[in-house]
Amino acid sequence: MFKILRVNMSDQTARFEDIPSDYEGLGGRGLTSAIVAQEVDPTCNPVGPLNKIVFAPGLLGGTNCANSGRISVGGKSPLTGGIKESNSGGQAGQYLAKLGVQAIVVEGDPPAGKLFRLVVGKDKAELQAADDLKGLGNYDTIAKLVQVHGDKMGYVSIGQAGEWLLPSASVAFTDRELRPTRHAGRGGLGAVMGSKGLKAIVIDPEGGQLAPLADREAFKEASKRFAKALGEHPVTSEGLANYGTDVLINILNEAGGLPTRNFSSGRFEGAEKVSGETLNEITVKRKGNPTHGCMSGCVIRCSGIYVDPAGKYVSKWPEYETVWAWGPNCGVDDLDAIARLDRMCDDFGLDTIETGCAMAVAMEAGLKKFGDAAGAEELLAEVGQGSALGRVLGSGTEITGRVFGVKRIPVVKSQSLPAYDPRVVKGIGVTYATTPMGADHTAGYAVATNVLNVGGSVDPHQVEGQVELSRAFQVATAVIDTAGLCLFVAFATLDIPDANQAVTDMVNAKYGWSLGADDVAALGQKVLGIERDFNVRAGFNAADDRLPDFFRREKLPPHDLVFDVPDADLDRTLKF
């Protein structure tokens, strides 16, 4: 049933292929990384003709498993220069899986100045001209596509940032209401899509069907156990459901690990004003929607809808990392301004983390003052206009810092650090340093155990145990991403052993496999090995698995800690 759709932009052909034996048994991140590692020259120009962009639903895609509709996007990153997988919700993952498409591989070089849209349906795919969409943001792009293709589709698109090949460009996916609010944000893969001349993908789910199951009854029983665990765990059933991911603002602020004003402090005096609790209160008061799923089949429903004082839609609830990047890290304590900035990033097609961090670096350089929300909106608008300053900001944190002579540039492998200071949460610091993806909290979320006491407890201030913690999370995350599950299911699988077993049981029941715990761990290690090998061939070495030196030199208030995990420990993190 499952095929790979290979799209060649050089001759505008689209054909279905059987899945090669080298890629069998993989989905999601495992499949995107395997294809990129085997088919892309690691030394190529990320926005040149030799790179490819790959879209893949997970192993559990196309089923009734809760929260299984995620999609992975892969390629060589224009931001890091290494391999990249970026993950998103929205409708596309489930639609493709139900159509029997295990991956879309886009390759080749388009005719100069031409834009295309790819229309995918049951056993059919066609490239169509999309020059009428040139220069449009994601919201206007989707509005025009809906006029042509209707409101029953799933849409994937890039904004101006992707067309202009900016290294912070994201890939947008529509949610259930056809809003382009779900993004594969990190690593600049929107620029790879833009380099292929591919403005949008239209996915017609008509004729799609649930994936065949080798053992239907076993799958049904395991999926019920899994959903039950998600409904019982306090993080997935209460914390995220009521306050979104922004529930973490007060938690990290109390822990002293909330990076503030470009990582110069661990606490923000305005944290309560931008917290998940306040986000919920404002949303309820304005009659927005505090409980919303970003994709069909989501039972956690953490992506609320933010409205302005008049009750008009502004954006989805900004994620914790978005609130942090544009809030505490820029010294801003105004949720309305943060929601508008989130909307602008979604429209232009920008990673909110990378661009928010670039803005904080620009503020440190003196372009605007910390706390100037209106100034941040003014500078961000430059990106949408394509000005020289806008293109600098849209090129990411490192380039912005270098252009304006800033000494404190918080990046690893040229990708900005997310919303957890590694001096106070040392397990996530190990992940930032060693993941093949560049600084990325989702690659190994040690915060869960360091701060939230999920899956046990490891003192976040101590060196001991951090390497083992990060390693375990990186392996488990590679499996979750390969399965196509939302990362947040990890809270339940860490604390409820049967939830973890239920995932394995579902995979076995779908494919007729007999994987055990050791096989699952080996799968995660295999994916990480593929990714690290690509980066080595691209020229990366141990020196790239390091945090910027200011994290080792500058003590972070209020705990006055530095990141002191030895380099030798970092070097052994992903040695299996």
- The string of pLDDT tens digits covering residues 462-484 is 999 999 999 999 999 999 999 99
Q: Are residues 190 and 225 in the same domain?
A: no
Separation in Å, CA 261 to CA 166, 296, 364, 532:
24, 37, 8, 32
Query: What single string gives the DSSP state of each residue in 72-96?
Result: EEEEE-TTTSSEEEEEE-SSHHHHH
Q: pLDDT per residue over 135-168, tens digit each?
A: 999 999 999 999 999 999 999 999 999 999 999 9
Q: Which two three-digit tokens encode residue 38?
A: 């085997």
**pLDDT cut 90: percent of the chain above it:** 96
User: Which of the four pLDDT bands, split at 50, 70 and 90, describes residue 241?
Assistant: confident
Structural domain of 40: 3-203
Residue 471, C-beta contacts closer than 8 angstroms, at least 6 positions apart: 444, 573, 574
Is 80 a domain residue?
Answer: yes
* Bridge partners (DSSP) listed for residue 72: 56, 87
Q: Are residues 570 and 443 in the same domain?
A: yes
Q: What is the mean pLDDT of residues 97-111?
A: 97
Q: How far apart are the first and last CA of the chain?
A: 35
Q: pLDDT per residue over 517-567, tens digit each?
A: 999 999 999 999 999 999 999 999 999 999 999 999 999 999 999 999 999
Q: Is the pLDDT of residue 186 over 90?
A: yes
> What is the pTM (predicted TM-score) of this model?
0.97
Residue of 443, 259, 247, 244 whose CA lies nearest to 357: 259
Separation in Å, CA 248 to CA 91, 239, 241, 255, 274:
26, 9, 13, 10, 10
Eight-state DSSP code of residue 407: S
What's the pLDDT score for residue 291? 87
Q: Are residues 379 and 303 in the same domain?
A: yes
| Helix segments in 21-157, DSSP class H | 28-39, 92-98, 138-149
Q: Is the pLDDT of residue 1 over 80?
A: no
Q: Are residues 447 and 353 in the same domain?
A: no
d(CA 376, CA 363): 9
Q: Are residues 222 and 169 in the same domain?
A: no
Q: Are residues 76 and 218 in the same domain?
A: no
Mean pLDDT of the chain: 97
Is 250 a domain residue?
Answer: no
Q: Is the pLDDT of residue 419 over 80?
A: yes
Q: Are residues 193 and 219 in the same domain?
A: no
Q: Are residues 513 and 468 in the same domain?
A: yes
Domain CATH code at residue 575 = 1.10.599.10
- Range from 47-56, 187-196, 294-303, 352-361 carrying the lowest mean pLDDT: 294-303
Residue of 36, 41, 72, 77 whose CA lies nearest to 414: 77
Is 351 a domain residue?
Answer: yes
Sign of CA pseudo-dihedral 546, 548, 554, 559: negative
CA angle 30, 34, 37 (to 5 degrees): 140
Is 385 a domain residue?
Answer: yes
d(CA 472, CA 219): 26
Q: How many domains does the chain have?
A: 3
Beta strand residue intervals within 407-534, DSSP E: 411-412, 415-416
